Structure 1
């Protein structure tokens, strides 16, 4: 009775949209995701290669992706550059964590040494304010001496 398939005007947009098919079913447009077969490659219409900048080249060397700058090809895939950026981001995070930890340990050690010397913030602030009061008093006396 029905010779046409249920989904009549079906088109696969494989390479561009990654396996999404568009179809018209009963006058309504439908989008559905199709599973790719193992080993099948989608068509790559857009070029996913980029010329690496000087900073990109240094980053690729620092991450160990290439040994020498001469080994770096003129065009690299975006995935290779993103992977190198992620590695550098992770390394920088590790360095920042280590520096933060070292700073915390240094502050604890210096705080303990200050406690042994009985250098407290309260003592330092009272000495500083006493010095400022003395300076202000000397200024007022010298100003009073000039007016007479």
Structure 2
């Protein structure tokens, strides 16, 4: 006994096989210079001008902008701006940008660590002046007073509650 799902799967399988066999032979047309590319018959693309220069990895060189030239200069790739060529590879530009961002991160660390040392020194001065100790003692005294007031009000409330139940 076949289930409905099984029948659908088998029908789809046979349909795909039929489609594959049917499309494997080209239809008769006037142009017989058809090529099969990824399962489809296509006409070859005719370009008006063939590439005159072949690039090493198939990627054309990049003409850097003024900012990219400065990044190349700051990263230490070139000594002077006049030394930079008209076109560069993307790999060279990527390496220069990475070096540039590392230098920027170092520059960002300098004020951060400076402010850290400043806060440590100020904290030690405040401890010598006993600023934190006096603030903590005042705060704890206030908390004790509030706890005592709350205990008195709770005690009065419980006494009234007890008297009303008797």
TM-score w.r.t. the length of structure 1 is 0.48
More strand by share: 1
Bigger proportion of residues as helix: 2
TM-score normalised by the chain length of structure 2:
0.43
Between structure 1 and structure 2, the one with the greater Rg is: 2
